[in-house]
Amino acid sequence: MAVPTFVDRVTLHVSAGRGGNGVASVHREKFKPLGGPDGGNGGPGGSVILRVDPDVTTLLDYHHSSRRKAEAGGHGAGGMRNGSHGADLVLPVPDGTVVHDVRSGEVLADLVGPGTELVIAQGGRGGLGNAALASAKRKAPGFALLGEPGEELEIRLELKVVADVGLVGFPSAGKSSLIAAISRARPKIADYPFTTLVPNLGVVTAGETTFTVADVPGLIEGASEGRGLGHDFLRHIERCAAIVHVIDTATLEPGRNPVEDLDIIENELSRYGGLDDRPRLVALNKVDVPDGSEIADMVLEELRERGLAVFSVSAMSGAGLRELTFAMAAIVQAARTARPVVETKRIVIRPPSADGGDDFSVTQTADGWQVRGEKPQRWVRQTDFSNDEAVGFLADRLNRLGVEKRLVELGAQEGDTVLIGHPDDAVVFDFKPGIDAGAEILTRRGEDQRFEEKRPAARRRREIEEAMPERSETETRADVARRLDERRTRTGPMSYEIGGPDDPDRQDDA
């Protein structure tokens, strides 16, 4: 299997580093029994950064290794020691790389200019230690916050070669030979179609102007619909200041002539779109061949009547190349003069929050009350649910934000199910209004007496699970829940065993 040397389109999965966890620690020193909390904060995770590197010309490295992950942040430690920062992962990309979000298809950035950076995945925040969480009301927290996971994204990188002049034409029209004749590039040249399989790039100097020239291989009729190879490489001339039609005047294929070749290629460029405003030059190539010189003379005036600048050239003998390169240089210089100065910039992708801001939204769904918002979802990710005191702290934060008040206003009842986060990955709670602590609760470290009583929603889910094995083949989980609700309405709170002797729906065999 051939190993590719030029790759201009890859799909890449990037993961930023997770933030380190904070630590719950108490200062211990002889004769100081009440040393106080001294847990340090977790360090932030490393970000994934795309940076334009002029020395990189292909996306080959990412073709072989398509998953990249930044370093996680270090965990905090006692003695007020914070965790280390996770190292950023810098991925060099060629100049002219376009970044797409695979899931949405959105163009995230167009990276042009050496040094331009894009923070494509932000590292997770480090969790706070109990020293940072201490306050006048909570002097000795027995918990710390967890670090947030880093952002994950699947992106597609597409390279659009940054060239000043683009050469277009049928296969074997002499584009590679022309680049080899006017620059030091040495592309593969042979006398059969589709010799060139990847774009060639050459640096040309004409007077005091130095510019780059690229060709589009495999451009034939129907290329915009996927025929040939041109549909894969047409994007490489989108950034060109000028387009040069290289026309073969000595082709042996029957039924072809320079004017029709020009019209076919122009039709493909028009159907591709976005190239109508580029200046055109026409290079009638292979005039060193007698038949080629005669055909070039026959169509020269007809093409000039269309307002095109036409040059009779030969890549083999060098005839007409000086005039052609200086004409290219004049167009390139004019385009550079009119182009604004591009400054190196750093771009940071900030995905929109669930409700468009840092606030929150509450909606009623079939599964319960859905709470979405940047702050609530971030607080949930930071909470250690194995620690009751940490859960109580989360409840206090949500209460202060106004989540509880909004739920009451919308008609939520005690015991209702509340989901925080995306429906596919939400954290489920039972609504328990009015549990704001207001002061430090004197219980054992890591506990919160407000969560000791049984929760109605959890008990209801447990009852449904216990009744599921007894359901009929046609009953669903929703049918079981409805039957239990109807039974509870008739008999009051359930104090019997499902299917037991006191079950009013039990049917004994005669």
pLDDT of amino acid 437? 47
- Token pair, residue 441, equals 């609760």
With a CB cutoff of 8 Å and minimum separation 6, the contacts of 175 are 167, 168, 169, 196, 200, 215, 216, 217, 246
Higher-pLDDT residue of 274, 86 = 86
Domains of the chain in start order, with CATH, are: 1-159 (2.70.210.12), 165-338 (3.40.50.300), 360-453 (3.30.300.350)
pLDDT of amino acid 356? 43
Residues 15-54: tens digit of each pLDDT: 999 999 999 998 888 877 778 899 999 999 999 999 998 8
Judging by beta carbons within 10 Å of its beta carbon (0-12, 13-18, 19+), is residue 247 exposed, middle or buried? buried
pLDDT tier at 457, thresholds 50, 70, 90: low
Q: What is the identity of the amino acid at 449?
A: Q
The mean pLDDT value for 269-275 works out to: 81
pLDDT of amino acid 474? 82
pLDDT of amino acid 495? 45
pLDDT of amino acid 160? 82
Mean pLDDT of the chain: 81
pLDDT at 330 over 70: yes
Q: Which residues are annotated as a binding site?
A: 169-176, 194-198, 215-218, 285-288, 314-316
The mean pLDDT value for 363-382 works out to: 88
pLDDT of amino acid 71? 96
**DSSP conformation letters of 60-85:** HHHHH--EEEPPPPPPPBTTTBPPPP
DSSP 8-state secondary structure symbol assigned to residue 147: P
SS3 312: strand
Contact 157, 10 (CB under 8 A): yes
Distance of alpha carbon 252 from alpha carbon 249, whole angstroms: 9
Higher-pLDDT residue of 73, 385 = 73
The mean pLDDT value for 77-103 works out to: 92
Half-sphere exposure of 287 (CA within 13 A, CB side): 21
Low-confidence winner among 78-92, 271-285, 333-347, 405-419 (lowest mean pLDDT): 333-347
The mean pLDDT value for 315-337 works out to: 89
CA-closest candidate to residue 83, choices 35, 27, 125: 125
pLDDT tier at 456, thresholds 50, 70, 90: low
Q: Which residues are annotated as a binding site for GTP?
A: 169-176, 194-198, 215-218, 285-288, 314-316
pTM: 0.69
Higher-pLDDT residue of 378, 422 = 378
